[in-house]
Structure 1
Amino acid sequence: MSSDLPDYYFRVRENGAFVFRVDTENRQRRIEMDQIAVVNMKNGEVKPHGQRDLTDEDISAIHAWMEERAVVLAERAIDDIHRTIDHLNLTAHWAQTRATDEQLELVTDSLLLTMHDLRTILVRKKADRLMAKN
């Protein structure tokens, strides 16, 4: 089992990850994880943990993880948008078929403002794209 473990473990957090070096080559054959860095995905910063100096291998592994993570996050963002479209369709069906007057009263203003804001942004962005093509 220990030979199948990666050399690094990334404990994901909201804006990045804590980076650990995984060690199984010790006398007790225990898995040891030594924190070596903190990654901030928003600004691309990699900070060594404590007084640690990162090796070229460490930096290379961290940057490879950051690239893979950016792809995963971008895919999730698009998936979230597709889910939002589904939710809007489900909400429209709910409002038309099952919602009571009291329920509609609770959500109508918020939904209308949200949809107006979204529509305004989408129309502006679409116009910008069309103008850029010309």
Structure 2
Amino acid sequence: MSGDLPEYFFRIRENGAVVFRIDTENRQRRIEMEEIAVVNVKNGNVKPHGDRKLSPEETRLIAKWTTERQALLAERDIDDILRAVDHMNMTTQWVQTRATDAQLEQVTDNLLLSMHDLRTVLVRKKAERIMKAEEAEG
């Protein structure tokens, strides 16, 4: 089993990960996890654990993981939004075909305000993109 383990492990947390170096080459043949750093994926900061100095290989490995993690999270964001579009469509169908008056009374105001807020932001962002594109052309 120990031959199959990676040399480093990234314990995911809300804004990044805690990075551990895996050691199986000890007298007890136990898996030991030495914390070496904390990574913030949002801003790219890497804080070595304690007084530890990261090796160039560790720094490269952490930077590679951070880039891959940021890409994965960006993909998940888009997937979440596309799922939200699907869910909005299913909500429309529910309102149209199955919702009772009591259920509609419970959700209508929140849905209308959320949709109005979203529409306002989308229209503003689209206008900003159009203006930027026109400035780039002219």
TM (norm. structure 1) is 0.95
Matches of 1:102 and 1:51, distance apart in 2: 61
**Is 118-127 or 13-22 further displaced after alignment?**
118-127
Greater mean deviation of Cα atoms: 100-109 or 39-48: 39-48
Distance in 2, matches of 1:130 and 1:36, equals: 46
> Which deviates further from its counterpart, 45-54 or 108-117?
45-54
- 2:115 matched to 1:130? no
Q: Which amino acid aligns with 1:37?
A: A
* 1: CA distance, partners of 2:64 / 2:105: 50
Contiguous gaps of at least 5 residues in structure 2 = none
Q: Distance in 1 between matches of 2:13 and 2:133?
A: 39
* Equivalence for 1:99: 99
**Shift of residue 29, structure 1, vs aligned partner:** 2.1
More displaced 10-residue stretch of structure 1: 90-99 or 45-54 = 45-54
Q: Which amino acid aligns with 1:3?
A: G
Deviation at 1:94, TM superposition (A): 0.6
Structure 1 CA distance for aligned equivalents of residues 52 and 14 of structure 2: 23
Query: Which runs of 5 or more residues in structure 1 are unaligned?
Result: none
1:52 partner amino acid: R
Q: Write the mapping of 1:1-134 to structure 2, written as runs, cut at 5 A.
A: 1-134=1-134
For residues 63 and 35 of structure 2, the distance between their equivalents in structure 1, rounded to whole angstroms, comes to: 16
Given residue 66 of structure 2, which amino acid in structure 1 is its aligned partner?
A: M
Between the two proteins, the alignment pairs up a number of residues equal to 134
- Structure 1 runs (4+) deviating above 2 angstroms are none
CA RMSD, Structure 1 to Structure 2 (Å):
1.0
